Amino acid sequence: MASMAAISGCTLGPEFRQPPLPARSAGAFVSALPDAEAASEAPDAWWRLYDDDALARLVTEALDRNTDLAVAAANLALAQAVWQEARAGRYPTTTLTSGAVYGRNLIANSIAAAFKGHAENLTTLLGGIDVGYEIDLYGRVAGSIAASSFDVEATAAMRDVARVAVAAETTRAYQTVRSAGRELDVAQRSVAIAEQALAIVARQAAEGAASDFDVARVRVLADQARSQLPAFEGRRQAALFELAALLGRVPAEAPFEVAQGSTTARLPMPLSTGDGAALLARRPDVRQAERRLAAATTRIGVATAALYPRVSLGASLGFANNEVLRSSNAVSFAIGPLISWSFPDQAVARARIAQSDAAAAAALANFDGTVLRALKEVEQAITACNAETQRRASLADAETHAADAYRLSGIRRREGALSQLDLLTVEQTLLVARAVLAAADTRIIDSQVSLFKALGGGWR
């Protein structure tokens, strides 16, 4: 017994080691601009960079009430309960029984005949306790506990994946509501100008200074301007309902007050992104894949332990009491080891080892793929942010030139060198430039949210 206790906990199978990362994965990102703060850590609660208290409150609410996060929390509680069940294997098992029976059987008849000279029905009180303890010679119990612990950590990382997504999508929906409101304001101003132009041309046609063709052409432009309004309003409403779902609310409880604003915050570029090493340490899906690999590797040893005997220590104590069985004669006890071994038929055990090997190989491939996907997503997000920033710079120049043209046209109008219709046409060009610029700001915010999501941050 002392020898078996000394070697108890010896584990079989491969020892888990952190898999190597791809070469050059720990350095700066390829797509980062030269003046980007690549060496600095990516921000933690990154949504606070927008300096918007309403957004911060909504993200906090979403992290508290989102239904996907509730599912993730329940899955984590389930994994922890499975781990507690595995830990119970370290403790003795106990079974307590008691009961009362009335009747007769062959043994009772024989005992009654010997003591009383005749058989009769007896009322017998029964009780007993069984205690068993498995000596973990080959680490089956310890391996099961370790694998369950890795599962808990992987499930916690899965919850963090959901938190990253909820924070990002809440920010995206909020910014979509605001940017759609801004684009709607520009579109409404365009409709007003188009209707003024239509009124002027219609009046000119009535006076014979314009043709029906001119009226029809301007009417087409007015109709096209009005057609933009439902699209922007629909996009704003859809984003509000998306935001309500993320907050765990029904559509009727959507935060409609968010739609009252039309200002959007645009962060400066380039953003701090850190490097590959910080990314892979921070991304929860990478951590999840690594913990899944650790669990799968550990379960190889658990399956291998089935090739060897299982040794248990058992003890039992029982009693039976009736009119015949009394005092010490009614007490029974037993103690001793129990060895169970599926030998020589070990086909099932070896098949399970093969299954565990395959599962570990799949987990390793999944880890490698997750690392590559994390690096790819960040590079793509940085590239998209850089491209949208460069595009916006050109559109901002166009908006500035259109504003200059409108200012100069106003001077000419006051001097009588330009008609009111021509001035409206110049203003319409300015509004088109502003609408395109507003759409570019929306795309930049969307690309920034995608970048923060790819970086996998949100909290410590």
Contact 22, 371 (CB under 8 A): yes
Q: What are phi and psi of 317, to 5 degrees?
A: -140, 130
pLDDT category of residue 170 using cuts at 50, 70 and 90: very high
Q: Given this model, what pLDDT does residue 114 score?
A: 66
Q: Given this model, what pLDDT does residue 34 score?
A: 61
Q: What percent of the chain is predicted at pLDDT more than 70? A: 88
Over residues 368-386, the pLDDT tens digits come to: 999 999 999 999 999 998 8
Q: Given this model, what pLDDT does residue 1 score?
A: 46
Contacts of 354 (CB under 8 A, 6+ apart): none
Over residues 82-93, the pLDDT tens digits come to: 999 999 999 999
Over residues 382-425, the pLDDT tens digits come to: 999 889 989 999 999 999 999 999 888 888 878 877 777 787 88
Per-residue pLDDT at 108 exceeds 70: no
Distance (Å) of CA 341 to CA 308, 313, 346, 408: 6, 15, 9, 96
Q: What does pLDDT average to over the chain? A: 86
Q: Given this model, what pLDDT does residue 272 score?
A: 76
Q: Given this model, what pLDDT does residue 95 score?
A: 92
Over residues 447-460, the pLDDT tens digits come to: 999 999 999 876 55
Contact 441, 364 (CB under 8 A): no
Report the alpha-carbon distance of residue 191 to residue 224 in Å, rounded. 9
Per-residue pLDDT at 329 exceeds 90: no
Angle at 362 between CA 358 and CA 363, to 5 degrees: 115
Q: Given this model, what pLDDT does residue 270 score?
A: 63
Contacts of 402 (CB under 8 A, 6+ apart): 429, 430, 432, 433, 434
Report the alpha-carbon distance of residue 442 to residue 422 in Å, rounded. 30
Q: What percent of the chain is predicted at pLDDT more than 90? A: 45
Per-residue pLDDT at 159 exceeds 80: yes
Q: Given this model, what pLDDT does residue 107 score?
A: 62
Which residue do the tokens 């919850």 mark?
159
143: nearest Cα among 331, 3, 8? 8
Report the alpha-carbon distance of residue 129 to residue 98 in Å, rounded. 9
pLDDT category of residue 11 using cuts at 50, 70 and 90: low
Contact 101, 126 (CB under 8 A): yes
Contact 184, 229 (CB under 8 A): yes
Q: Given this model, what pLDDT does residue 28 score?
A: 84
Contact 395, 436 (CB under 8 A): yes
Over residues 178-199, the pLDDT tens digits come to: 988 888 888 888 888 888 888 8
Buried b (16+ CB within 10 A) or exposed e, 409-442: beeebeeeebeebebbbbbbbbbbbbbbbbbbbb
Contact 239, 258 (CB under 8 A): no
- Burial-class residue 23 by CB neighbours within 10 Å (0-12, 13-18, 19+): exposed
Q: Given this model, what pLDDT does residue 319 score?
A: 83
Residue 97 bridge partners (DSSP)? 128
pTM for the whole thing?
A: 0.84
Q: Given this model, what pLDDT does residue 207 score?
A: 85
Report the alpha-carbon distance of residue 48 to residue 28 in Å, rounded. 25
- Burial-class residue 64 by CB neighbours within 10 Å (0-12, 13-18, 19+): exposed
Over residues 236-269, the pLDDT tens digits come to: 999 999 999 999 999 999 999 988 876 766 676 6
Mean pLDDT of 31-40: 62
Q: Which of 37-41, 114-118, 277-281 has the highest mean pLDDT?
A: 277-281
Per-residue pLDDT at 169 exceeds 70: yes
Report the alpha-carbon distance of residue 211 to residue 209 in Å, rounded. 7
Distance (Å) of CA 394 to CA 65, 359, 400, 449: 41, 52, 10, 22
Which residue do the tokens 């080959």 mark?
138
Half-sphere exposure of 164 (CA within 13 A, CB side): 20
